[in-house]
Amino acid sequence: MTFDSQAYAVQLEEKVTRLRDLLAPFGAPEPVVFDSPLKNFRLRAEFRLWREGGDRHYAMFAQDDKRTPILIEEFPIASLRINELMPQLKAAWQASAALSHKLFQVEFLTTLAGDAMITLCYHRPLDEHWHTAASKLAADLNVSIIGRSKGKREVIGQDYVVEHFEVGGRTFSYRQPEGAFTQPNGTVNQKMLNWAYDALGDRTDDLLELYCGNGNFTLPLATRARKALATEISKSSVNAALSNLSENAVDNVTLVRLSAEELTEALNEVRPFRRLQGIDLKSYEFGSVFVDPPRAGMDPDTCELTRRFDNILYISCNPQTLADNIAQLHDTHRISQCAMFDQFPWTHHMESGVLLTRR
């Protein structure tokens, strides 16, 4: 793969044009564009292992062909740390039957701050020989190692990495757990965080956040509001978000493990939820809502819920569902700010952001 800057510029402009065209019916302003490094931008990677020539090799597959492996020695779009670890890990499993026996998948998670974790997946139970070999490997490579077999997980070191992002002149630290979602392009994620922080501005009222994940946006955005209520359905993400709020001394956030749909029911007083016990929803003076939904976008009821707020700050990983949601809200809200974030260079995927304000 070549990393030609001119080819990248052409592809980036194609994405901007696509976003511009999708949002044109709503009178969107020209998007602010945040580009990506051309290579070594991806902080996580997952490889199947493929036997050939008597050894296991890193392998990936084309989307339309799951039978023909693409054998890989290096992965230039991945972080420098992942590319450094790949041959070291391969040499270790080649030299150790305890590490290589029935090993079928490897996952790397790294951070801009230099932390790293490797997950090794096996079709067998993990025994003392594996634990001894994996402990030595973790020490040699200065990483945490997670061993996974059916229904079991062994942790050597920590089951998370720690990332640092600077937003609004403050450095926030984030636990990123193994297996939980994190933004793959750390450089662009920091640009997204700062754009959202600036777009929200200083508020004297309260913030509602849906789909908060590990608190990626929660930490900086909560410092812009009087107080915040954040929701997330994934238990591991909720636990990470609670740790991140505590470690960063962000103490004006209440976090509840509810889906966006459940919170909509709670705010509409359709039914009570035990997980909201002790939380007085009527004490909040919500002026803004922040959403970062999955690729399907917001369901119609959640979309209607956001209409109540003067400001809707929306980060999207799918510009088509973003446009669909804006179409539902366009009669009451207009797009006052717009941005495109190239989280996934060399693919057609992109992240975008809009600030919708009440007409």
Residue 1, pLDDT above cutoff 70: no
- 166 labelled binding-site residue: no
pLDDT class of 83 with cuts at 50, 70, 90: very high
pLDDT, tens digit (0-9, with 9 covering 90-100), for 27-78: 999 999 999 999 999 999 999 999 988 889 999 998 888 889 999 999 999 9
At 55 the pLDDT is: 87
Does the predicted model carry a pTM greater than 0.75?
yes
At 271 the pLDDT is: 86
Among 121, 212, 303, 317, the one annotated catalytic: 317
Residue 2, pLDDT above cutoff 80: no
- 211 labelled binding-site residue: yes
Q: Could you confirm whether 212 is annotated as catalytic?
A: no
Residue 358 pairs in a beta bridge with 333
pLDDT class of 131 with cuts at 50, 70, 90: very high
Who has greater pLDDT, 199 or 211? 199
- 88 labelled binding-site residue: no
- 292 labelled binding-site residue: yes
Among 163, 178, 262, 351, the one annotated catalytic: 351
As a whole number, mean pLDDT of residues 229-258 equals: 94
Q: Could you confirm whether 351 is annotated as catalytic?
A: yes
Report the percentage of the chain scoring pLDDT > 90: 86
pLDDT class of 99 with cuts at 50, 70, 90: very high
Mean pLDDT of the chain: 95
- 8 labelled binding-site residue: no
